[in-house]
Amino acid sequence: LIKACEVFEQQEVERINTLRNMVWTHLNQLSQQCVTSDELHEEVRKSLEQCDIQEDIEHFVNLRRTGDKPPAPVLYENFYSGQRVPAGPPSSRTAPPITRRGPLPNPDNTEGDVIYSTVDPGYSALQY
Looking at residue 14, its amino acid is: E
Q: 5 by DSSP, 3-state: which? A: helix
Whole-number pLDDT of residue 116 = 56
CA distance 69 to 114: 57
> Do 82 and 98 contact (CB within 8 A), yes or no?
yes
pLDDT of 88 > 80? The answer is no
Greater pLDDT, 50 or 91: 50
The mean pLDDT value of the chain amounts to 81
Backbone angles phi, psi at 77, to 5 degrees: -125, 120
pLDDT of 100 > 70? The answer is no
